A and B are shown apart, each in its own frame.
Chain A
Amino acid sequence: MRAFAIVAALAVAAPAAAGPLTRVGSKQFTEGVLLGEIATQVAAAAGADARHRAQMGGTRILWTALVAGEIDVYPEYTGTLVEEILAGEPLPRGDLAALRRALAARGIGVIGPLGFENTYALGMAEARAAAVGVRTISDVAAHPALRLGLSNEFLDRGDGWAGLRDRYRLPQRDVRGLQHDLAYRAVADGAVDVTDLYTTDAEIAHYRLRVLDDDLGYFPDYQAVLVYREAWAAQAPAVVAALGHLAGAIHQDDMIALNGRARLERVPEAQVAAEFLASRLGLRAARASDGRAARLWARTVEHVGLVALALALALTAGIPLGVAAARWRRFGQVVLAAVGVLQTVPSLALLVLMIPLLGIGGPPAVAAMFAYSLLPLVRNTHAGLVGIALPIRTSAEALGLSPSARLWRVELPLAGPAILAGVQTAAVLSVGTATVGALVGAGGYGQPILTGIRLDDLGLILEGALPAAGLAILVQALFEGVERLVVPRGLRLRADE
């Protein structure tokens, strides 16, 4: 029935050449990516110029991006909206109408519920749970020796660990933070006893896990919905209507099967989504999956683009800063200390700090790479200039060259080898930093690495890691060549040549 409705809606919304731009975001876990993919394909079939920015990060990043207008739609859960995003204004649990009103006040609309619930639960390996005799979360409280390994997001969020611990008075203090997908393996291998899970995870059956009963009713409803910007919806009513037909269309069993297909059978999300839309909803989404070579090429273009842009900006700022630092000693001390401190900020922290200022995607990644490139550039330019022998500087000054001629004709050429070494370091560093940029949706070689970690797929990880390493080596070699071209022969000669 619903299938017909969607097909009908799509028939009305005839695909236009340049439909409304629809940017779908998704969180960094398989179900999020699958739902994002489904939404993207439905939007595309409804004529939208639909783009999927997959696995952008956690709730905070997605919500911020949505409110800032960086994306238009993303899959979310009612529980997360109530407990995490609207934590400041207590809403009655399970009151969907109240939630819609609260979101509407922020210019955000809701499509759904989509038809399934994916709530948090705690789980243990069946054998271990049986041996210890744990059925409910209250039982976990009675066994302080149980080791907990929880996903990082669950540890951090307001409706996660802290609240659960207080409600059940859980005595465990030694709680390890893990990546969600790795947590299953840790439980299966016996590295930890208890982890948090999503109730639609295909791994529950695969790894023979026992889902512990939430006997105090702590976990709220986590019904899947799509949240979207009203401002975008006004531009794309046909797309909203098409997406509206997803409401109630995805059932619990469907979602578990889709997750299993993607995670356990390693079928690409785009294909899983297309199969689902075709078989269950009769939607034929023309979404050819790119070949490996095309994918690699696209990643390479993104990656090199990020590095080149960041490096160009860093050169524009770093070399003049280095020159100024060499000229004015006090200023130099301050600048060198500042860029040194910048270097010690972890890349992930830097990326997250940049998001409120620069949004998501390329800009924060470029900003982080820029920040890291400054130290080698400023330091080497400074060192190269300060290291020029005194007689040479004296000669240049006494000769009557203007200050700028001294800089361009004498000092910079002499500092050239040191500056070039700094550029080389910055470039190689940026190639590495750019892979982390995938965490904020910048693309590049980090994208397959992230997906590979999520799917526990070594091949996919290598698909990102190998070209990244190759590019770093290539950049290194390239600069050796540039040095031969750029550094004056007189500086490369030795007295006996």
Chain B
Amino acid sequence: MLELRGVTKRYGPRTVVDDVTLAVARGQRVALIGPSGSGKSTILHMLVGLARPDRGAIVLLGEEVRPDTVQALRRRVGYVIQDGGLFPHLTAHGNVALLARHVGWAPARIDERIAELTRLVRLPDDALARYPVQLSGGQRQRVGVMRALMLDPEVLLLDEPFGALDPLVRADLQDDLRDVFARLGKTVVTVTHDLAEAAFLADDLVLLRDGAIVQRGALRELATAPADPFVTRFLRAQRGLDLEVAG
């Protein structure tokens, strides 16, 4: 479904992604985790063409991500960032409908799809007519997810989607989204620095450090068979997780 082949990305003298090879199969839910500066967000940016790899190739939905292919590919991928990244001059409805209008959907079809998504992400109906500044943080994030799902993409990319939310709202939203992903069977890649969140949303964790993959596997595998002392350190640093960490 998506694949990185020997991808390297440099910003000036700094190598932020160092020869990463990674494949995610259809329907898989993967979380990229790691400390700040480990390159996880850059990988997501390269997947939607917001950054170009200096070496290697990125293949998305069977096509290489290049300037000439990226626009069409983006419409088959949903991308959600912290706080939703909503356009402040449009209502919630306007934000969700924007891309569908641009690609020529009929208004009736748009409204039908929005009604469906509103139920799916459990957004109150009256929130649709409001502008982003009039929505709560959780509602903005739900609208951001709706906007990403509007054209029913095969892949969903989430970049620290819950970073700006308080713990209760965040837990609610995590529950709802896990439910949504399970029902839709989408391929989902989540970037987060929060191990608990990663483990909750994804079956498969990819731990990164300094732009390279340290270990990939389920949380239990990382805990019981760490590939590197860093894995153990990273897991231990996350308090409150009831894990039997090896060593």
**Could you tell me which A residues sit within 8 Å of B by CB distance?**
391-392, 394-402, 405, 409-410, 413-414, 416, 488-491, 493-495, 497
Contacts and interface: CB of A to CB of B under 8 A. Distances in A.
Given A399-B147, A493-B131, A494-B133, A414 B88 contact: yes
Contacts of A394: 50, 81, 85
Contacts of A414: 87-89
A402 B48 contact: no
Interface in B58-98: 71-75, 77, 79, 81-83, 85-91, 98
Given A490-B90, A490-B91, 13 more contacts: A392-B85, A394-B81, A396-B87, A398-B50, A398-B81, A399-B74, A399-B79, A400-B72, A409-B102, A490-B89, A491-B89, A493-B131, A494-B133
13 contacts: A392-B86, A395-B86, A396-B87, A397-B74, A398-B74, A398-B79, A400-B71, A400-B73, A400-B99, A401-B99, A490-B132, A490-B133, A494-B133
Contacts of B133: 490, 493-495, 497
Contacts of A401: 98-99, 102
A493 B131 CA distance: 8
A410 B89 CA distance: 8
Nearest to B102: A405
Interface of B: 48, 50, 71-75, 77, 79, 81-83, 85-91, 98-99, 102, 131-134, 147
A392 B88 contact: yes
Nearest to B147: A399
B134 A495 contact: yes
A433 to B, nearest CB: 33
A399 B95 CA distance: 11
B92 to A, nearest CB: 10
A493 B134 contact: yes
A398 B158 CA distance: 12
A356 to B, nearest CB: 47
A83 to B, nearest CB: 66
A399 B81 contact: no
Contacts of A413: 89
Contacts of B98: 399, 401, 409
A494 B131 CA distance: 10
A491 B86 CA distance: 12
Contacts of B79: 395, 398-399
Contact of B81 (A395, A488, A493, A497): A395
A413 B131 CA distance: 14
Nearest to B151: A400
B99 to A, nearest CB: 5
B88 A491 contact: yes
Nearest to B131: A490
Task: State the majority secondary structure of interface residues on A.
Answer: helix
Nearest to A401: B102
A351 to B, nearest CB: 41
Contacts of A416: 89
A397 B85 contact: no
A495 B140 CA distance: 13
The 9 closest A-B pairs by CB, nearest first: A400-B74, A395-B85, A490-B131, A488-B89, A400-B75, A398-B79, A391-B85, A398-B48, A413-B89
A398 B89 CA distance: 18
Contact of B134 (A392, A396, A400, A497): A497
Contacts of B48: 397-398
Given A391-B81, A493-B134, A494-B133, A488 B90 contact: yes
A392 B48 CA distance: 15
Contacts of A489: 131
A407 to B, nearest CB: 12
Contacts of B132: 490
Contacts of A495: 133-134
Contacts of A391: 81-83, 85
B40 to A, nearest CB: 16
Contacts of B87: 392, 395-396, 410, 414
Contacts of A405: 102
A317 B123 CA distance: 44
A139 B108 CA distance: 97
A392 to B, nearest CB: 6
B163 to A, nearest CB: 11
Nearest to B148: A399
A130 B82 CA distance: 89
A416 B90 CA distance: 13
Name which of B72, B83, B89 has the most chain A CB atoms within 10 A of its CB.
B89
A131 to B, nearest CB: 76
A405 B71 CA distance: 12
Contacts of B74: 397-400
A488 B82 CA distance: 24
Nearest to A393: B85
Nearest to B89: A488
Contacts of B91: 490
Contacts of A399: 74, 79, 98-99, 147
Contacts of A410: 87, 89
A401 B79 CA distance: 13
Nearest to A490: B131
Nearest to B70: A400
A331 B85 CA distance: 29
B226 to A, nearest CB: 34
B57 to A, nearest CB: 20
A402 B99 contact: no
A403 B247 CA distance: 53
A397 B131 contact: no
Nearest to A497: B134
Contacts of A395: 79, 81, 85-87
> Which of A395, A402, A416, A491 has the most chain B CB within a 10 Å cutoff?
A395
A405 B50 CA distance: 17
A410 B83 CA distance: 17
